[in-house]
Each structure stands twice: as structure tokens, then as C-alpha cells.
Amino acid sequence: MPRGHDLGMTADWWLDEMAFAGPEHLDPEFVAGYERKAGFRRDDGAPSDEDGEIAADLAALRAAGMTSESTVVDLGAGTGRFTLAVAPHVRRVVAVDVSPAMLDVLAARVTSEGWRNVECVRAGFLSYEHTGAPADVVHTRNALHQLPDFWKALALRRIAGLLRPGGVLRLRDLVYDADPGEVETVFSRWFQHAVDDSARGYTAHDLAEHVRTEFSTFRWLLEPMVDRAGFEVVDSAFVGSVYAAYTCRRR
């Protein structure tokens, strides 16, 4: 069973992350089809793009110093694709998510596959409290955009606090590598490559809704936050000026 956590605010101005998690992520019916919509599974059995991303993340983390003795915190773990991929390679994994529905799926997988080095914790970027030795690695994929920029800055500072000096953050998310005057062109190109069937992935309507209602930010705003939180960007890569992968090392 997932380890519980008090998700309440620590002060009367503190953000309620459950209110910003996206109602679909709290819905067991949505979660049941999440991996197909997110592109994690293909009907023909071929590797998905996300399989390649996970392999790239593991390679980047190994290159940055992750070992069989490492402790990894997976923030916004969702249904646990990365959690279960990294578990065979490290000593301890803590999978963290605010969604009970997501964690129920992940906890069931952890139990069925017999992973004894994986802990499931219901919490968020702003409420997770780490126990034990500092983490060597924090991984987060497609979750930080759920927080407005003020809270992203605080979340990144909290992530730095989880890590030992020299520890590594691997961050994947929708980040806009454009100036304000370029976004109409960038988004138009992005939407043109969306799928037509919402059961099989994200449609142009879904992507437009993301832009309107969630909090993906500009690269030139995010990177100073990363720096201010105490990280050095080791490498970064962008796809289509809208999707980023960062490896960052805590100073």
C-alpha cells in the first residue's frame, strides 16, 4: 500500500497541489487508459517514443553517476513507468504522486512484480518529505508543469533539498523554447503533428487545452529558476521547441 502523507498546506498561503493535479489524473477511469493516451503502449507491440525516453533517461543518469547503490526519488511518478524501469538498477526508489488513482495502479504493479526496493508515497513537489539518506537522483516527467511559475521555483528549491551535493535532477516536461512573438507559429506546428483519435494520444484539442489551462513555461524563465535553486544544467535537449529534457547537477 502507498505510504500516506498529509497533503494539507503548511501555511494558509501554501498551494493545494491536489487542486492543480488535473482532475483527469484523479479519475480511476482516466488512469486506466492513461498509458495508451500518453503513448506508453502501442497496439502493434513496437517500442513507443516513451520507451526511448526512459532508456535515454537511464543512460543520462548512469553517465551522471547513478549506481546500484543510488537512491532515486521519482516525483510525479504516475503509473510508474520510470519507477519500474529504474528499480532493477538502484538500491532504493521512492515513487511520489498526489493522485491516489495513479498510486493504486503503481502499488499494485510493485507488489505483483515483487519489487522490495520501491516505496510509494502520496505527496507532491511541495509536500513530499524525504526520509533516510539524501537522494542521489530525482526524476520527474511531465509533472512540474502542473505548478504555476512561483511554485515551480519553490518546488525546484525543495528538490535541491532532497539531493546530496552533486546529486542529479533529470527533468522532462513541456517547455517552450521560443520568444512570445514566436509561440503562434510554434504551437501551430506542434498541433499539426497531433493525433486525430483521443483514445490513442493527445489531439490538437488536448494540446490547446494544455496551453490554456496548465502552466508550461518558457525556457528563458525555467532555466533561471533551475540556476537559482542551486543546480547547474549539465545538458539539455528540445524537441519541436516544446518538449525538453534536462540533466542538472546540484551544486
For residue 82 the three cell numbers come to: 520510470
Give the whole-angstrom CA distance, residue 127 versus residue 75.
11
Burial degree of 201 (CB within 10 A; 0-12, 13-18, 19+): middle
pLDDT band at 47 (very low <50, low <70, confident <90, very high): very low
Query: pLDDT at residue 143 above 50?
Result: yes
Q: How far are the Cα atoms of 65, 169, 183 from residue 22, in angstroms, in the given order?
A: 34, 24, 24
Q: Grid coordinates representing 14?
A: 501554501
Question: Domain 17-181+216-250 belongs to what topology?
Answer: Rossmann fold (3.40.50)
Q: Where are the domains of the chain?
A: 17-181+216-250
- Cβ atoms of 57 and 65 closer than 8 Å: no
Residue with the three cell numbers 547547474: 232
Angle, CA of 67, 70 and 72, to the nearest 5°: 120
By the 10 Å C-beta count (0-12 exposed, 13-18 middle, 19+ buried), 19 is classed as exposed
Q: Which one has a higher pLDDT value, 125 or 12?
A: 125
Q: Which pTM value belongs to this model?
A: 0.90
Highest-scoring range by mean pLDDT, 43-57, 144-158, 200-214: 144-158
Element (H, E) at 206: helix 204-213
3-state secondary structure (DSSP) of residue 74: strand
% the chain with pLDDT above 90: 79
Poorest-pLDDT segment among 166-170, 202-206, 241-245: 202-206
Strand partners, 140: 75, 171
Higher local confidence (pLDDT), 41 or 51: 51
**What are the tens digits of pLDDT across the range 217-250?**
999 999 999 999 999 999 999 999 999 999 999 9
Q: How many helices (H) and strands (E) does the chain have?
A: 9, 8
End-to-end CA distance of the chain: 35
C-alpha cell at 88: 532493477
Average pLDDT over residues 139-162: 97
User: Which residues, other chains included, contact 251 with Cβ-Cβ below 8 Å and sequence gap of 6+?
Assistant: 165, 230, 231, 232
